[in-house]
A and B are shown apart, each in its own frame.
Chain A
Amino acid sequence: KAGVTQTPRYLIKTRGQQVTLSCSPISGHRSVSWYQQTPGQGLQFLFEYFSETQRNKGNFPGRFSGRQFSNSRSEMNVSTLELGDSALYLCASRLQGAQGEAFFGQGTRLTVV
């Protein structure tokens, strides 16, 4: 069965622009979480969606937002991009209620110039 799919894989944007990243979870997985990974900070939790509702949010500014659609696909948006937003953005999907692992996508490498 297909894994978690993130698009695009690579993205270059200019400061001040906005960007939308997409994540398609594993079929049947209704929980989607987003993480930002940078060399200095490691993986940091952005937000979690389940059944189109944001269930949890990390300590990121309001420029970071997301949503989930009825087919469980999720998007995250970053507005007014800053240089410090350059990172690998990872999406993870999970079966609701499962004690098992979260499955990660390959990520989107965002570079802000």
Chain B
Amino acid sequence: GQNIDQPTEMTATEGAIVQINCTYQTSGFNGLFWYQQHAGEAPTFLSYNVLDGLEEKGRFSSFLSRSKGYSYLLLKELQMKDSASYLCAVKYGGATNKLIFGTGTLLAVQP
């Protein structure tokens, strides 16, 4: 199978930093995406990694290690509006846009 594993829930404090981990099976890997989804809304794109290393975009950064089948999403200077579900998704294979999603990590940011 192509299981994508991420923690179910996390809690963090406003202004803090939180890291959400994601592990996946490496065979056929062809890119990893992070999406944010607020309750009742569509998922929105946060980041994309296909090569090893860190991609930084404002308060959000994403890291990938292809050999370890591991990624994390780092959220800095947390704000209340960051309370949402964070979805890790992996693209496998070539000529396809099919994404395999993890079940998502529900992040609660507390004052």
Contact = CB atoms under 8 A, between A and B. Distances in A.
B42 A106 contact: yes
B97 A94 contact: yes
B18 interface: no
Interface string A50-66: 10000110100000000
B58 to A, nearest CB: 16
Interface string A77-105: 00000000000001010100001111111
B50 A45 contact: no
Category for how many chain A residues contact B: 20 to 34
A90 to B, nearest CB: 7
Contacts of B44: 104
Contacts of A35: 101
Interface string B40-64: 0111110010100000000000000
Contacts, number: 60
A48 to B, nearest CB: 6
Interface in B7-54: 31, 33, 35, 41-45, 48, 50
B57 to A, nearest CB: 12
B48 A99 contact: yes
Contacts of A44: 101
Contacts of B98: 33, 45, 48, 56, 58
A101 B91 CA distance: 11
B110 to A, nearest CB: 22
A43 interface: yes
A42 B95 contact: no
A99 B99 CA distance: 12
Interface of B: 31, 33, 35, 41-45, 48, 50, 87, 89, 95-104
